[in-house]
Amino acid sequence: MSRRRNIVAGNWKMNKDYEEGRSLARDIVAKLQPSDTLVILGAPYIHLKGVSHIISDINNLHLSAQNCHQEEGGAYTGEITAEMLSSVGCEYVILGHSERREYFGEDDTLIAAKIKRAQAAGLTPIFCCGEKLPSREAGEQEAVVGQQVKEALFGFSAEEVSKMVIAYEPVWAIGTGVTASPAQAQEMHAYIRGLLREQFGEEVADGMSILYGGSVKPANAEELFSQADVDGGLVGGASLKAEDFLAIIASM
């Protein structure tokens, strides 16, 4: 079973060309302070190999993709397998991000299939969940997130779930500049950990790193990360500037 780690993961989304991506990775490598915090760079597919060369000597710096296909291979034009990701030094994959759910119609059944494939290829899935604004306003956030967690993860064994990372990302906070309050984040993270405890037991629940995502920036990271059940962040916009991303890591 895995030990709970503090993690700061960047999600570059569909930003930066190849040279810009390499230059961002180099800037991070140059100024990253040694620490126990696991730092993950979620780069576009095309950057993965180049970035993997740049970060390979740094102990706590790892590489993530932002998606993978659920099949092992075959006639799926334009898609990428989990095995391909492993083969270029990628160790993590973000799955179930709200933008994948919203723009590419991904549901929790498909996300579960992707998680299974990713683990079979030796990748650690970063499973994303989170409610939209109307659900939050109706006070239904726990019902929505609970359903996502159950549908995507409850078909797995405790052993399999212990090798995942979860990111709670309220959709209304992503890219909006509006951040969940530390209390709102803590409440949901504790709820998710409670679900894991009921289904998979204390050891899995305790060992799970649950990251908060949604407009994390240097100014709010420390307070968010200081919450008991917030084990780090999944950072979009602020991960595109080395200085901001490093400041967020430092606040861990």
- Contact positions toward ligand PGA, by CB under 6 A? 11, 169, 174-175, 213-216, 234-238
Nearer to ligand PGA, 94 or 204 (CB): 94
- Residue 136 CA to residue 119 CA, distance in Å, equals 32
**What is the nearest approach in angstroms of ligand PGA to the Cβ of residue 155?**
24
Nearer to ligand PGA, 166 or 205 (CB): 166
Pairing assessment for the beta strands 232-235 and 7-11 based on DSSP bridges: parallel
**What is the nearest approach in angstroms of ligand PGA to the Cβ of residue 237?**
3
Token digits for 1?
A: 């079973």
Token digits for 208?
A: 């799970």
Q: Please list the alpha-helical segments (H only) found in the chain.
A: 18-31, 48-55, 82-87, 98-104, 108-120, 133-137, 141-153, 158-161, 182-200, 202-207, 218-225, 242-250
- Which residue's C-beta sits nearest to ligand PGA? 236
**What is the nearest approach in angstroms of ligand PGA to the Cβ of residue 52?**
21
Read off φ and ψ for residue 125, nearest 5 degrees. -75, 140
Q: Which residues of 213-240 are buried (b: 16+ CB within 10 A; e: fewer)?
A: bbbbbbebbeebbebebbbbbbbbbbbb
**What is the nearest approach in angstroms of ligand PGA to the Cβ of residue 214?**
5
Nearer to ligand PGA, 48 or 204 (CB): 48
- For the question of residue 169 being annotated catalytic, the response is yes
Nearer to ligand PGA, 118 or 173 (CB): 173
Nearer to ligand PGA, 17 or 102 (CB): 102
- With tokens 């209390």, the residue in question is 183
Nearest to 11 by CA among 248, 236, 237, 246: 236
Identified catalytic residue from 47, 69, 97, 189: 97
- Residue 177 CA to residue 118 CA, distance in Å, equals 31
**What is the nearest approach in angstroms of ligand PGA to the Cβ of residue 26?**
22
> Any idea which residues carry the catalytic annotation?
97, 169
